[in-house]
Structure 1
Amino acid sequence: MRLVNIEKEETPRMKRRIVIAAIASVLTLALAGCGDKTAEKEIKLGTLSGPHAEVAEVAAKVAKEKGLNVRIVEFSDYGHVNEALAVKDIDVNAFQHVPFLEKAISQRGYKFTPLGKTVVFPLGVYSLKIKDKSQITDGMLVSVPADPANLGRALQLLERNGIIGLRPGAGVHATTHDIKKNPKHLKFLETDSAFLGRSLPDVGFSVINGSWAVKSGLSPAKDAFLLEGGDSDFANVLVVRTEDKDRPEFKVLQSAFQSPEVKAFVLDKFKGSVVPAF
């Protein structure tokens, strides 16, 4: 009878099986890793709390369906959102129009690029004391946005309605020093946008950005006695660092912001206080 050493005969086969199994395992893990990377792709979107964030949340849901996770980072004031983008705390922001962006770039040297339009928050003129521009009295105190871009925008709105006259060529970056005609001798109080609504009891009227008006419990469509039109040149835009402008994630995000779902939400929720710009 011949004894067979089973261990010696099976070992080479076992080794081959172990190697094959190991290779298969590595390939499986690699493929799974690629799948996870796609599924977990995420960008951070900076925006302002309130209506800005509400619109962003709807866009984020649409983007999710397209395979992109959008983490919304809310800020309480304008000042920090662009800085957060510059230092890469966020990947993209959605809160500003192009004139505001251009002013920030000129002052801070940001290397930013605007992408697609999102919505317009119409600038309006509000008052607890008067209901029409014909009721403006001599020497009235007027509160206007302190930030440069929205200040120019506010003064332009007053000029278009014949309340003041600006220096020719002052444009969107006009300041109170550019006021050349002031027949009612109005006095202007530059105020942080967050406090414009609170200033109403103390002023004759105030020029307030749509998003801050909504936060103050005002309805631009109902409460403003003067209001920008829906074709305003001050539509908000998505903004990214210039070095990142071609990242495919931002095309997905832009399409999400310009989706039928976002448009329907804006029209239904804000009733004219916020207007789609696409």
Structure 2
Amino acid sequence: MIRRSLLLSAAAVLTLAACGAGGEKAGEGDALIVGATAVPHAEILEIVKPILAAEGVPIEIKVFNDYVQPNVQLAESRLDVNYFQTKPYLDEFNAARGTNLVTVAGVHVEPLGLYSRKHNALAALPNGAQIVLPNDASNTGRSLLLLQSAGLIRLRDGENPLQTVGDIISNPKDFQFREVEAATIPRILPQVDAAVINTNYALDAGLKPRTDALSLEGANSPYINYLVSRPESQNDARVQALARALRSQAVKDFIARKYDGAVIPAA
């Protein structure tokens, strides 16, 4: 009997080890696993944690420092949802990667800004100035529209958000453009004349968009940051609870207090 019990115990241990070897996928545990960039997304998620806990929906926040892995891991079911991106970026990612991630709810807008450590005004940018842009297609086009609205360049199409540097038809000061991965731009800002920086990375680097940006998108920007999921889970009760919490008055009040206009709740 003792020998048989030992054998059964050993078998149970091996079974548990085998189950754990592959790792737990999102949705298999109790917590809703949410991918986000640090600022402001993870900070906002921390505010909704107690709201969701009261509804019996615990969340686990996984912080990323880039724009690719949160979508890759969501598509691979290693996350339940993510919260960091605009729809143009999501559309571009889906087209490039063959994924079909979907938006669940629009939460906030982060006005894109042009920053400089060397010059304190647009007019001070010299001829031939080197200006850095994010290198993903949606943010490159968005950056060029910002520069056009600031009167620095003119584009072939005044409104197309997916234009490239090749679509610049007027560049009076002969600015030189360099495209760099968005997350790295704040680190190289001191080395260039100016750079277009996404607000989440600007805030993370200690920049204050309302006072530090040479030019900043207005509150009417169409680039809303969305909660995103896989198609089969967008109507999951836990995902919908998170969407409601992110669009709650408590979150809107937090955004207004914390970010002083650098982040704006979506309508």
What TM bracket, shorter-length normalisation?
Answer: 0.7 to 0.9
Structure 1 residue 199: Cα displacement:
1.9
* Match in the other structure for 1:129: 118
* Match in the other structure for 1:166: 155
* Match in the other structure for 1:199: 188
* Match in the other structure for 2:104: 115
* Match in the other structure for 1:263: 252
Q: Provide, for residues 219-253 of structure 1, a one-character-per-residue CA deviation record: whole Å limited to 9, x for no partner.
A: 10110121111221111001110122221222111
* Match in the other structure for 1:79: 68
SS of the equivalent of 1:207 reads strand
* Match in the other structure for 2:137: 148
User: Which stretch of the first structure deviates more once superposed, 237-246 or 59-68?
Assistant: 59-68
Q: Does 1:54 align with 2:43?
A: yes
Alignment of 1:84-95 (within 5 A): 84-95=73-84
Q: Does 1:45 align with 2:45?
A: no
Q: Provide, for residues 161-192 of structure 1, a one-character-per-residue CA deviation record: whole Å limited to 9, x for no partner.
A: 22111122771111112212111110011112
Taking the aligned partners of 1:198 and 1:72, their CA distance within structure 2 comes to: 25
Alignment of 1:226-245 (within 5 A): 226-245=215-234
Question: Is the 2:36–2:70 Cα contact (8 Å) retained in structure 1?
Answer: yes
Structure 1 residue 144: Cα displacement:
0.9
Question: Is the 1:45–1:93 Cα contact (8 Å) retained in structure 2?
Answer: yes
Aligned pair partner of 2:264 in 244, 251, 275: 275
Q: Provide, for residues 197-233 of structure 1, a one-character-per-residue CA deviation record: whole Å limited to 9, x for no partner.
A: 1222221111111010011111101101211112211
CA RMSD of aligned residues (A): 1.5
Taking the aligned partners of 1:271 and 1:99, their CA distance within structure 2 comes to: 25
User: Which stretch of the first structure deviates more once superposed, 56-65 or 119-128?
Assistant: 56-65
Question: Is the 2:234–2:240 Cα contact (8 Å) retained in structure 1?
Answer: no
Structure 1 residue 41: Cα displacement:
4.3
Question: Is the 1:62–1:261 Cα contact (8 Å) retained in structure 2?
Answer: no
Q: Provide, for residues 107-143 of structure 1, a one-character-per-residue CA deviation record: whole Å limited to 9, x for no partner.
A: 0111111111111221111112222222222110001
Structure 1 residue 85: Cα displacement:
0.3
Structure 1: state its 5+ residue gaps. 1-39
Which structure shows the bigger proportion of residues in helix conformation? 1
* Match in the other structure for 1:254: 243
* Match in the other structure for 1:6: none
Q: Does 1:217 align with 2:211?
A: no
* Match in the other structure for 1:32: none
Q: Provide, for residues 54-103 of structure 1, a one-character-per-residue CA deviation record: whole Å limited to 9, x for no partner.
A: 01111222222222111111112111010000000001000000000000
* Match in the other structure for 1:11: none
User: Which stretch of the first structure deviates more once superposed, 208-217 or 174-183?
Assistant: 174-183
Question: Is the 1:152–1:171 Cα contact (8 Å) retained in structure 2?
Answer: yes
Taking the aligned partners of 2:250 and 2:54, their CA distance within structure 1 comes to: 12
The percent of aligned pairs where both chains have the same amino acid is 36
SS of the equivalent of 1:195 reads helix
Taking the aligned partners of 2:80 and 2:244, their CA distance within structure 1 comes to: 17
Runs of at least 4 residues of structure 1 off by over 4 A? none
Q: TM-score, normalised by structure 1?
A: 0.82
Question: Is the 2:115–2:197 Cα contact (8 Å) retained in structure 1?
Answer: yes
Amino acid at match of 1:267: A
Structure 1 residue 264: Cα displacement:
1.2
Amino acid at match of 1:186: F
SS of the equivalent of 1:46 reads strand
Taking the aligned partners of 1:205 and 1:191, their CA distance within structure 2 comes to: 13
Taking the aligned partners of 1:155 and 1:61, their CA distance within structure 2 comes to: 40
Distance 1:169 1:102, change over 3 A: farther
Taking the aligned partners of 1:50 and 1:204, their CA distance within structure 2 comes to: 25
